[in-house]
Amino acid sequence: MNQIKKMTSHHLFLPVFALVLLLIFNAFATPGFFSIQIQNGQLFGRIIDILNRASILVILSMGMTFVIATGGIDISQGSVIAISGAVCCSLIGGAGDGTTQMPLLLACVIAVIVCGICGVWNGFLVSKLKIQPMVATLILMTAGRGIAMLITKGQNITVYYKPFTYIGNTIPGSPLPTTIFIAAAMVVLVVLIQKKTSVGMFVQAVGINAEASHRTGLKVTSIIFMVYVFSGMCAGIAGLMESSMIAAADPNNAGLNMELDAILAVALGGTLLTGGKFYIGGSIIGAITIQTLTTTLYALGVSSEQLPVCKAIVVILICLLQSEQFKKMFAGKAEKKAVTQI
């Protein structure tokens, strides 16, 4: 009994449990869900698809986790994704003969830097001007797509330069999509930061008690500033992957509502939206779970218009499971049951 309690109260329990549940469901409902084929040394299958798409969300949710840990939120991520795609695609250019105006790597780096600057803006508003994070990032959320539109001069830019599509798909000869490698590299980077620096502890301290942190010598302002810059850069990398998948910059639809999925992934991973303790591992599994859910629903024939309804139900379930009051109600019932049994 105690061991069960210990297990269920672990912060990774909820996302892992949800993921396992989804996988079991799929094993029965979707034939061939787990099958993986090898063609030309390349792996194909639903699982690979999920991981491919989830990589974007994993990267976004890592950025979001740090922001939320400081007690903030970044709802501009989706728009920053659009900006990233717009910058990169317009730098490469839409030449029909498949050439590029600029080395691919340089274009990508510039795009990520521009998104970092978006993060600088958010961080400046939140940490220096002390504007509420929701409002501060709302500015870029609404303005961001306009900026992306300005960069592409009001059009969707389609890129014919082949190597650009490798980012969101597969480099010829590689067994797995590039996205998975990028996400894995980001995860390793974040884990290293966690283990080898005090960033994690400082971010948590600021989220738990900013006043005490300041009096203990923490640079509260720059820590908050930093997490928004990091979030912006994460959105930048995600934007490259997103636009590479469709080989185009789509200012209107790229990354639309992705920030909400990222927030959901963080919440599912056990990090409280009030800030403080955060769980990167939980966010990563949360992101994969959400992508699995999306893919599952598509596989079941749920249309993309109805998808948000299903996600909403999941959100409600998560909120209920995290609510102390709900747990109390539940515990109260169980207790009463136990009493009547005696």
Partner 1 sequence: MTGQVLLTMRGISKYFPGVRALENVDFTLRAGEVHALMGENGAGKSTLIKVLTGVYPKDGGEILMDGKSISPSSPLEAQKCNISTVYQEVNLCPNLTVAENIFIGREPRKAGRIDWKTINRRAAELLKQLNLEIDVTKTLDNYSVAVQQMIAIARAVDVDAKVLILDEPTSSLDENETSRLFDVVRGLKKQGLGVVFVSHFLDQIYELCDRVTVLRNGELVGAYEIEKLPRVELISKMIGKELGDIQSMGKNDAAERGEVLIEAKGLTAFGRIKDFDLTVHKGEVIGFAGLLGSGRTETAELLFGVAKPEKGTLKLGGSEIRFATPLDAMHHKIAFCPEDRKVQGIIGDLTVRENIIIGLQAKNGMWSHIPMKEQERIAEEYIKLLQIKVSSPEQLIKNLSGGNQQKAIIARWLVTEPNLLILDEPTRGIDIGTKTEIQKMVIRLAREKQMAIIFISSEIDEMTRTCTRLAVLRDRKKVTELSGDEIYPDRVMAAIAGGV
**Binding residues for partner 1 (CB under 8 A):** 196-199, 201-202, 204-205, 208-209, 211-219, 223, 276-277
Closer to partner 1 by Cβ: residue 195 or 337: 195
Q: Where are the beta strands (DSSP E) in 69-199?
A: 157-158
- Written as one letter, the residue type at 139 is I
CB of 325 to partner 1, least distance (A): 13
- Closest distance between partner 1 and the C-beta of residue 278, in Å? 11
Give the torsion through C-alpha atoms of 166, 167, 171, 176, to 10 deg: -130
First-to-last CA distance in the chain?
18
Q: Cα separation of 13 and 222, whole Å?
A: 33
- How many other CB atoms sit within 10 Å of the CB of residue 240? 29
d(CA 154, CA 148): 8
Q: Closer CB to partner 1, residue 130 or residue 215?
A: 215
CB of 54 to partner 1, least distance (A): 29
Size of the chain in residues = 342
152 vs 204, beta carbon nearer partner 1: 204
Residue 170 CB, nearest approach to partner 1 (Å) = 36
Residue 57 or 223 with smaller CB distance to partner 1: 223
The least CB distance from residue 99 to partner 1, in Å, is 42
Rounded alpha-carbon distances, angstroms, from residue 221 to 71, 198, 226, 263: 13, 16, 9, 23
Closer residue to partner 1 in complex, CB, 103/335: 335
